Chain A
């Protein structure tokens, strides 16, 4: 006879079978049965200071490993606090499973204490969600949730479990198979289409690889590298794709889009073939869609059919997993390698043009003798971490400068909120990543605004002695919003001044974390070195020049080639 177990224990048994080693959560009345099981269980529960941060931490864990991150919250306020983290994971295709407690089945719908319609609220915030009303359904649901979260286009899945289900007793027999007849995952990619793609690639005179988050989630970085080298094509990587190619790879141009480089955006505009791999033609990348890549045919590889043709019609759609499709494509390309010479002359001219664009307006950091430029900060972080650290960013100007100037060698080392752009992401995501990679250097690069959304998590860092280095790019403003007010609202600055930023040394001291302010450019390098060398956590408040703007910038509604390259220069007076 199989064991008689509580619902909560069955839940945890199923988590073990899914390989879960760590849960980020916050307890409450209805999840007490779960916590009673976790009391003496090897699965580690990390007590966060807010449920939103539990979801972000699970996301940081998932983004840095590719495995499913798990978070847990109680009913009512606990589950509503998760919402931002769920939508964030949905937008960036991150596999997380959220477990929420619910009031007892009999009380559901009666405005019971701490009741919220979690199943209804999170329907549009998740890839899929469940309300488990019968204990007998629980094991299959848990396994389905992990399967759905981690396969196909990854995403968040929520399981809402009423207290009586957690408390109920049942004989537990492990489920051996799950059946989801309507859940279709197409991985293989149509062979005929792949052959046609190879043909289009050899025929192109100005090909451009445009790759993104799908390469990272598929683990296709090696295949991507082989592709760009085999066909010797230039490549741009979206904000979510950074690290898919080494940042110093000669074929890598830079990030395209709103804050992409001149060369990347000009390449997009002039290419005659876009090889789009695991990207979703986001508006931050395309600028005005009707003027985007006007000369290009598009090969679009994506595992989610919904993405194909959503924003830009694909001349050659391929639904499939990027890694599998690229492996097949590489084989066809190698078999037809003789064709490589066909457009050799035009390809050389294309490269010359791209190199010229790069020379004309390089992505160059700005330095000053008197103040720390934010770009300078990122260059120093890049130099000292050398692509080996896991770097999380919050949202805003600092995120863009980090993306522009930190070069990532490997995938899953750059974690940021791209699609939702949720401030307050950077620090809790670093917590998740540090739990997944206890021996790695994890640096959270955050703005002074976003940092103040995350301060409570300093307690999580301190109590778990996580050696996270928090680098605050402190410009005294909600910088990204200030930039828009400056550029598009006549510099009428409203609600963007961040007065009252705490004294970081005292704040750190309150948590037992060393903190330091750096103001002089000549001190920056030493200060960062010392912070990174510190065995424990560290807070570095870097005072950067407040009025710096992120350039290049494609104004909202403009085409990529209408980007603004820099601040208006004073017009030279003719002699």
Chain B
């Protein structure tokens, strides 16, 4: 079964490689991956869909959470979440099938983003399985070309983001700060 992982990562060079490295080190093939900045431009939100051995799911999430650049990694597979995807589809449409194509597009709430004598480019978004159906239907009209965005997903459960506070620099300063937290040997 596919696992949907949502991550909040620092928008830094190499961060993406670190996250995908957890998967590629185990030889997993990524089904889809989306990344974009969040409201805070120093952060990015990633959604990864990947086929992970069920016994290793929690392990993979923990490994991602261990990465310095990852603020939060969570498994959306087993919680309430909404997943959406977008597809851009080019279909060749000879005169006689143009109306039929437009009808089908309407059923799937797809929009025409380009129209020419050769055919259309349609844009549809929604539940990934619905998009599969849309693509299947369009295939019946002839040669199509498809670009999918990959899934973006959001959890419907409230989640607290725990971030680490700043720490002093320098060995001496840190040791001083640590000793203020209480020396365990004296307890």
Which A residues form the contact surface with B (CB < 8 A)?
17-19, 67, 119-120, 123-124, 127-129, 131, 140, 143, 146-148, 174-185, 222-223, 304-306, 309-310, 323-324, 327-328, 331
Contacts and interface: CB of A to CB of B under 8 A. Distances in A.
A147 B63 contact: no
A331 B67 contact: no
Contacts of B70: 182
Contacts of B168: 176-177
Interface in B1-54: 9-10, 13-14, 17-18, 21, 25
Interface in B48-105: 58-59, 62-63, 65-72
Contacts of B187: 327-328, 331
Contacts of B171: 17-19, 67, 146
Contacts of A223: 184-185
A152 to B, nearest CB: 9
B93 to A, nearest CB: 43
Given A184-B162, A223-B184, A309-B58, 7 more contacts: A17-B169, A123-B17, A180-B167, A182-B72, A327-B184, A328-B187, A331-B187
Interface string B159-186: 0001110111111101000000000110
Contact of B184 (A18, A147, A324): A324
A140 B67 CA distance: 18
Contacts of B163: 181-182
Contacts, number: 87
A131 B167 contact: no
Contacts of B71: 181-182
A181 B170 CA distance: 18
Contacts of A331: 187
A182 B169 contact: no
Contacts of B66: 304-306
Nearest to A174: B169
A243 B66 CA distance: 29
Contacts of B72: 182
A305 B184 contact: no
B21 to A, nearest CB: 6
Q: Which 6 A-B pairs have the closest CB atoms?
A: A143-B169, A19-B171, A181-B163, A327-B184, A177-B166, A182-B71
A309 B59 contact: yes
B184 to A, nearest CB: 4
A175 B66 CA distance: 25
B13 A131 contact: yes
Contacts of B172: 19
Given A184-B162, A327-B184, A17 B170 contact: yes
Interface centre among B58, B68, B163 (most CB of A within 10 A): B68
A19 B70 CA distance: 29
25 contacts: A18-B171, A19-B170, A67-B171, A119-B14, A123-B21, A128-B68, A129-B14, A131-B14, A143-B169, A147-B169, A174-B169, A176-B168, A177-B167, A180-B164, A180-B167, A181-B163, A182-B68, A182-B70, A182-B71, A182-B72, A182-B163, A306-B66, A323-B184, A323-B185, A327-B187
Contacts of B162: 184
Contacts of B25: 124
Q: What is the size category of the interface that chain B forms with chain A?
A: 20 to 34
B170 A18 contact: yes
Contacts of B164: 180-185
A477 B167 CA distance: 51
Contact of A180 (B58, B68, B184): B68
Contacts of B69: 182
A148 B169 CA distance: 11
Interface centre among B17, B63, B171 (most CB of A within 10 A): B171
Contacts of A180: 68, 164, 167
Given A146-B171, A309-B58, A327-B187, A178 B166 contact: yes
A124 B70 CA distance: 16
A182 B18 contact: no
Interface centre among A127, A146, A174, A181 (most CB of B within 10 A): A181
Interface string B109-120: 000000000000
Contacts of A309: 58-59
A362 to B, nearest CB: 35
Contacts of A184: 65, 162, 164
Contacts of B17: 120, 123
B67 A306 contact: no
B184 A148 contact: no
Interface in B128-187: 162-164, 166-172, 174, 184-185, 187
Interface centre among A179, A180, A223 (most CB of B within 10 A): A180
B16 to A, nearest CB: 11
